[in-house]
Chain A
Amino acid sequence: MMELIRDGFVIAGKDLRKEWKTKETISVMLIFSALVVLVFSFAFDPANQTVKTVIPGLVWLITIFSALLGLNRSFASELENGCLNGLRAAPIDPASIYIGKVIANFVLVLFVQMVSIPVLFILFDYRFAGSLLWFLATVFLGTYGLIIIGTFLAALAVNAQNSEMLLPVLLLPLLSPLMIGAVQASAAFAGGENMESAMSWIQLMAGYDLLFTAVCLLLFEYILEDS
């Protein structure tokens, strides 16, 4: 078990070091999330008071859109020079490849969120009224679930020729229960209303995360198997 996670950290370190040197994915993700905020300001009038209630939900739209960019790259970039075959041939458990990719993607998306959520709140002049700690917990749980499923499906979609187009179609329906919970809970915690009911959403998200962590870890070796 410890070895699994240690190998995972090695792979995550490799991905993150590569990202640190080239900055090709993270820069696109950041600019893209800023552009999404810009488009929101056209769609929802920022001066309108009723728009304030949907802002916490928009956090998740930004997260999903920018995460999709990163997830698409995370396995597609391994196709060059047959790196994926190298990973397959390495004397490690396939699950640790998965863990490594999850950690790397998670760090990238959290970084993008650290920039984009404050930008969203500032540009739309959102007054935070609830509990910051629980809001962050919601963001953490929701993003973790997104990355768990997203990384898994990115590995699945990379087998197709049109993987960039396939990934969103596979990912979004499976994410829907998590996203319902995430949007509801983050709206409650940011607005400071219905905090008790939001706790059940947190539980739902935690359950979803645990279930899919286990299932994806178990099934990942079937995806990676070469044929």
Chain B
Amino acid sequence: MKLKSQIIDWTLFYILVAAVPVMMYFIFIWSPVERVLGPAQKIFYFHVGCAWVAFLAFFVVGVYSVFNLIKPKMNHFIYAGVSAEIGVLFTTVTLLTGMVWGRISWNVWWSWEPRLVTTLILWFIYVAYLFIRKMDGRWEKIARLSGVFGIIGCLNVPIVFMATRWWNSKLHPVVFGEGKNETGGGLEPEMLFTLIFSVVTITILYLFLMRKGAEIEKMRTRVKQAKNKLLQKWAN
């Protein structure tokens, strides 16, 4: 069991070691430079990958929250927390890269556009979730409370998106689908391939961070248990 999980860890690690330089090569050298935005458009590959992982991480938090309410388990509790922490990280990266990109393509650091507002509110929900987890008390109780908040937060994200969409477009119909991604509608095949490659790589990075984070968290609980046991022994 332990060996198996170590093998998975090492495979993920070596895939990342290989994939990240390849991703860099694809992004900076292989894929064509965008006509209007120039090299600045390269940030797009990181931006989309991080945004995808940010939403995925939040979805994972929601799923583990439901599991936790059905049957409280230490593992579910740990996975939900680690996923939220990674989610905060990736949402922050998404917001920052988005701001840099927005400065170049729209000439403003921030515009109150639906996707931006949704991501910002998502960030706030994540942080609130982590605040709940920082409460003191037994872990079962915190697992239950944070699980409830995780479910409500997850339900909120699509509503936020719809609301901000209506708000900004003043209720004009918005066409679903690709939308404009500042590359002029369609993507070059090389660009699309690079994009998919970077999204997959960043998702693998998420999986790796998730496993490592969970491992650290488990060690932390084990140390805490050992400490308590020792203290009890000394007290007697």
Partner-B contacts on A (CB < 8 A): 149, 152-153, 156, 159-161, 166, 169-170, 172-174, 176-177, 180-181, 184, 197, 200-201, 204, 208, 211-212, 215-216, 219, 222-223, 225, 227
Report how far A181 CA is from B162 CA in the complex, Å: 11
The answer, yes or no, to whether B131 is at the interface (CB within 8 Å) is yes
The answer, yes or no, to whether B215 is at the interface (CB within 8 Å) is no
B132 / chain A contacts, CB cutoff of 8 Å:
156, 160, 166, 170
Q: Are B141 and A173 in contact (CB under 8 A)?
A: no
The answer, yes or no, to whether B8 is at the interface (CB within 8 Å) is no
Q: Of A173, A211, A225, which one neighbours B121 at CB under 8 angstroms?
A: A173
Segment of B13-21, B95-103, B146-154, B198-206 in the binding face: B146-154
Using A169-B128, A174-B153 as known contacts, say yes or no to A225 and B162 having CB atoms under 8 A apart: no
Known: A177-B160, A200-B166. 12 other contacts (CB 8 A): A156-B148, A159-B135, A161-B135, A161-B136, A169-B127, A172-B124, A173-B156, A174-B153, A204-B162, A204-B163, A222-B69, A223-B148
Q: Of A180, A215, A227, which one neighbours B141 at CB under 8 angstroms?
A: A227
The answer, yes or no, to whether B233 is at the interface (CB within 8 Å) is no
Chain A nearest Cβ from B208, distance in angstroms: 29
Using A170-B131, A173-B128, A174-B153 as known contacts, say yes or no to A159 and B141 having CB atoms under 8 A apart: yes
The answer, yes or no, to whether B41 is at the interface (CB within 8 Å) is no
Q: Which 3 residue pairs spanning A and B have beta carbons closest together? A: A177-B163, A173-B124, A227-B141
Report how far A170 CA is from B140 CA in the complex, Å: 20
Q: Of A170, A181, A204, which one neighbours B149 at CB under 8 angstroms?
A: A170
Report how far A17 CA is from B207 CA in the complex, Å: 54
Report how far A161 CA is from B138 CA in the complex, Å: 14
Report how far A197 CA is from B121 CA in the complex, Å: 24
Q: Are B131 and A166 in contact (CB under 8 A)?
A: yes
A169 / chain B contacts, CB cutoff of 8 Å:
124, 127-128, 131
The answer, yes or no, to whether B170 is at the interface (CB within 8 Å) is yes
| Main secondary structure on A side of the interface with B | helix
Q: Can you report 14 residue pairs joining A to B where beta carbons are below 8 Å apart? A: A159-B137, A161-B135, A169-B127, A174-B128, A176-B160, A177-B156, A177-B164, A208-B159, A212-B155, A215-B152, A216-B152, A219-B151, A222-B69, A227-B141
The answer, yes or no, to whether B211 is at the interface (CB within 8 Å) is no
A172 / chain B contacts, CB cutoff of 8 Å:
124
Flag B161-186 by CB within 8 Å of A: 1 or 0 each. Answer: 01110110011000000000000000
Report how far A17 CA is from B4 CA in the complex, Å: 63
B159 / chain A contacts, CB cutoff of 8 Å:
177, 204, 208, 211
- Output the nearest chain B residue to A196 by Cβ-Cβ distance: B171
- Output the nearest chain B residue to A220 by Cβ-Cβ distance: B148
Chain B nearest Cβ from A166, distance in angstroms: 6
The answer, yes or no, to whether B22 is at the interface (CB within 8 Å) is no
Report how far A81 CA is from B137 CA in the complex, Å: 20
Report how far A20 CA is from B232 CA in the complex, Å: 50
